[in-house]
Amino acid sequence: MIPTTSKHNLSRLTRLVAAALIAASATTALAAGSIASGERWLDREGKFINAHGGGILYHEGVYYWYGEAKGDFTYRSPGVGWDCYRTDAGGVSCYTSTDLCHWTYRGIVLEPDTMHTFSDIHPTMVIERPKVIYNRSTGKFVMWMHIDNHNYEKAVAGVAVSDSPTGKFRFIESVRPNGQMSRDMTLFKDDDEQAYLVYSSEGNATLHIAQLSDDYQHVTARYERLFIGQSREAPALFKRQGKYYLITSGCTGWDPNEADLAVADHVMGPYTSLGNPCRGPHADKTFFAQSTHVLPVAGTADCFIAMFDRWNKRNLIDSRYVWLPIRFDAGAPTISWADVWQPPQAGASGHVAAVAPH
């Protein structure tokens, strides 16, 4: 019989070994130039990547991944009826890579304002889904994000600017675009350099898309209402061969649901649903994740990566990343589950270099 203290030590050792194996599997995959969705991803310093609800900017040969810097303490907002789990706003983090697998931490590029309790980016506020685009005319990097208060009733879009992709970004203001609520959002820059803000509005019942000003720092009066009364959120917009595709999720709080993919001939719609693009185990739950961004892989003929977050509402900093290739073999685009796969590099003509399906 093993003494009680030995049992305790053995159990602790087992947990430590299991945790080490999980971390090693993700590290090995990334080191080998592969992506293992749902694992804990480490940066070049061996620390967990903390960039949730994010998006990627490709600029002058470098990928810049911006995301929510989650604090290490998750709590539920008191007095809020739904599952309003959150952490103090830690600002926006940035990581860089040239191959989408090896990421270097560049710090907090939009810092929370700890000095002014009334600030929209005070730690007590919500800073979510940051996206950055580059304005060639002004030479500025422009960030838009979802800003909210503890109970998500403020529902505004915030904007910040920087002369460098690694900041520091300067927060300008938050607005309700055209007087309308704004929560889950994304940015999209078209081939003609015109940019658009896509956001959940009207109490999350209807999605809006608004054209931005020439400097990308303001919303114009030109906007359209999409999926009226259908309660879609988590928009991710991309363009392929002259058509616009929009991935969204349903509104079920932190819990996963079935994704939808819609297509349009014009960026502002109208959009027609093509149904759920996901294929494989748990496709009806979007692989237990939620859309945040679609990345066209630079220098490839036809390669796109769908980025999702696998939220862990009771430990938000430990929410995982699910990145999968989008396929265009025939008919509507599809996103199939793969345990491990290799992102294509510049010059690739196919979808992915290799895929290991579940």
For residue 258, the Cα-to-chain-centroid distance in whole angstroms is 17
Give the tokens for residue 313.
């509402």
* 9 and 124 both lie in a single domain: no
* 259 and 335 both lie in a single domain: yes
Q: What is the mean pLDDT of residues 334-350?
A: 82
Checking if the pLDDT of 45 tops 80, the result is yes
Partners of 175 in the β-ladder: 157
Residue 210 DSSP symbol = E
User: Do residues 162 and 180 lie in contact, with contact meaning Cβ atoms separated by under 8 Å?
Assistant: no
Q: Give the integer Cα–Cα distance in Å for 99 and 96.
A: 9
* 4 and 17 both lie in a single domain: yes
- Chain position carrying tokens 């931005």: 212
The pTM score is 0.90
User: What is the tally of structural domains in the chain?
Assistant: 2
Find the domain containing 5 and state its range.
1-31
In this predicted structure, which of 4-8, 133-137, 277-281, 302-306 has the lowest mean pLDDT? 4-8
Q: How much is the pLDDT for 301?
A: 80
In order of 14, 65, 201, 202, 270, the CA distances from 205 in angstroms are: 47, 29, 6, 5, 17
In this predicted structure, which of 30-34, 37-41, 243-247, 271-275 has the lowest mean pLDDT? 30-34
* 15 and 68 both lie in a single domain: no
* 27 and 55 both lie in a single domain: no
| CATH code assigned at 150 | 2.115.10.20
* 70 and 117 both lie in a single domain: yes
Half-sphere exposure of 70 (CA within 13 A, CB side): 25
Identify which has the larger pLDDT, 25 or 271.
Answer: 271
* 158 and 95 both lie in a single domain: yes
Checking if the pLDDT of 311 tops 90, the result is yes
pLDDT tier for residue 332 given thresholds of 50, 70 and 90: confident
* 106 and 241 both lie in a single domain: yes
Give the tokens for residue 131.
């996206």
Partners of 246 in the β-ladder: 237, 262
